[in-house]
Amino acid sequence: MQKEYLTVTNIAGPLMLVEETEGIKYDEIAEIVLASGEVRRGKVLEINKDKALVQLFEGTTGLNLNQSRVRFLGRGVEFGVSPDILGRVFDGLGRPIDDGPEVIPEKKVDINGLPYNPYARDYPSEFIQTGISAIDAMTTLVRGQKLPIFSGSGLPHNDIAAQIARQARVVPSLDEEDKGKSGEKEKFAVVFGAMGITFEEANFFINDFRKTGAIERTVLFVNLANDPAIERLATPRMALTAAEYLAFSQDMHVLVILSDMTNYCDALREVSAARKEVPGRRGYPGYMYTDLSLIYERAGRIKNKKGSITLIPILSMPEDDKTHPIPDLTGYITEGQIILSREIHHKGVYPPIDVLPSLSRLKQKGIGTGKTRHDHASVTSQLFAAYARGKEAKELAVILGDAALSDVDKKFSAFADGYEKSFVAQDVYEDRGLEKTLTIGWKLLSELPREELKRLKDEDVEKYMK
């Protein structure tokens, strides 16, 4: 029989202090029974001898010090997993909110998971197609990679997140000798964790996935802006627990999208302030790097396992500041970044991805012969160089005027405009295959003098350049 405590001695904000406890563990779940019979849940944040500090998921409004009864369940927050979670919508604590039946779990898993043994990790080396040219060609996503999107307030990162969730898949190589060998029969799923979003944004994601049929292969976790901060801290762990089950028990390739990690970090700061911890940079707790790494490092590939977990965390940089603690620490842990540009967004280009500061550190491991197409690396390298030179020419024209540009510089300046309008820009529902992406790239490069295209092989020029 569970022991109940009537020793609640202090309530401050979402925190409650219970004294004279025995055998309580960190992160253990507590149930608080109010005088009215209502039951609320909380989590143990701190233990000091016989005192336990509990943070409530639903808040402390209406609690009575003398009449509230507390019982500890002897376990942490768990999520019940089974193949039936695909196509379902859950709240931030893993409870169904889509009017569907309760999920009958195969097992219940602690959402905190376990760290992977580095020796057991396998190197990411296969291509994932998102259907977005600027990502697939220039900042290629590789299975098992952690590739964040750095956005800003007002930029369309939610539209990009939904588009990636709809379109992402594993595909076979485009080279003739490799066609049909791999990719087409491999199982793929998406786990989407939305944190601190508005009711309208939640409806957008749910309705969009249902309308396009993407919901059938998606597990969606929704934490609204008015939900408790402690639930927001559980949401990404719920998503990754579901992903680990699908990847390593069901042999699926899983793409996890987490949006918006800035809201998660703000919730972490809120909880830290409630616990009266010493703040670090900009008020965020000093352990935020460790906390983020415990989330990000749950992505990857494991030796002798067919499945994989690929992670795209999305964060909105306060004041577009890349040195802010959230993007700064995220950059240390992950393998590159995709940066959205406000300047490109103001030109009416969607998605407003700035390829020059963007980077995928594992790109070279996932492209080329047998993976995408043999000319992938050389074409994207030449596109990057030509676009960078075109941007330099445009900056020079601003200072000295167009008359100061040589004929070749004018061609590169025109190339930069064409690159943004026809290569980067695409419709929000346009699923652009890699073959079409490379074709657009070759067409753009054909407008430049051949002697300037020093990164292309002659045989590829003869084969692909019209």
Average pLDDT over residues 261-274: 92
Under 8 Å between Cβ of 30 and 41: yes
DSSP string over 296-340: HTT-EEETT-S-EEEEEEEEEEGGG-TTSHHHHHHHHHSSEEEEB
pTM for the model: 0.93
Under 8 Å between Cβ of 76 and 93: no
d(Cα 69, Cα 65) in Å, to the nearest integer?
9
Q: How far is CA 363 from the centre of its chain?
A: 17
d(Cα 192, Cα 205) in Å, to the nearest integer?
9
d(Cα 368, Cα 150) in Å, to the nearest integer?
27
The residue whose two tokens read 């002798």 is 304
Average pLDDT over residues 87-96: 94
Average pLDDT over residues 279-303: 94
> Residue 170 phi/psi, 5° resolution?
-95, 140
Query: How many residues are present in the chain?
Result: 466
**In this predicted structure, what is the pLDDT of residue 402?**
84
**In this predicted structure, what is the pLDDT of residue 176?**
59
In angstroms, what CA-CA distances link 287 with 20, 139, 235, 436? 29, 30, 19, 45
Average pLDDT over residues 226-249: 94
What's the pLDDT tens digit per position in 326-353?
999 999 999 999 999 999 999 999 999 9
Q: What domains are there in the chain, each with its CATH number?
A: 4-72 (2.40.30.20), 78-365 (3.40.50.12240), 376-464 (no CATH)
What's the pLDDT tens digit per position in 393-421?
999 998 888 888 899 999 999 999 999 99
Under 8 Å between Cβ of 317 and 342: no
What's the pLDDT tens digit per position in 22-54?
989 888 999 999 888 889 989 998 899 899 999
For residue 57, give every residue at least 6 positions away whose Cβ sits within 8 Å of its Cβ, in sequence order, or none: 40, 41, 42, 43, 93, 228, 230, 231
Under 8 Å between Cβ of 92 and 229: no
**In this predicted structure, what is the pLDDT of residue 2?**
77
In angstroms, what CA-CA distances link 339 with 144, 322, 342, 356? 20, 10, 10, 9
Higher pLDDT, 271 or 330: 330
Report whether pLDDT(242) > 60: yes
**In this predicted structure, what is the pLDDT of residue 439?**
96
Report whether pLDDT(178) > 60: no
Label the pairing between strands 149-152 and 169-170.
unpaired
Label the pairing between strands 336-339 and 149-152.
parallel
Cis status, amide bond into 260, omega within 30 of 0: yes
Identify which of 152, 188, 153, 124 has the alpha carbon closest to the alpha carbon of residue 336: 124
d(Cα 127, Cα 366) in Å, to the nearest integer?
5
pLDDT band for 177, please (50, 70, 90 cuts): low
In angstroms, what CA-CA distances link 142 with 139, 310, 361, 369? 10, 8, 10, 15
**Mean pLDDT score across all residues of the chain:** 92
- Kindly state the DSSP code that residue 377 receives in the 8-state scheme: H
Identify which of 334, 314, 332, 336 has the alpha carbon closest to the alpha carbon of residue 323: 332
**In this predicted structure, what is the pLDDT of residue 274?**
81
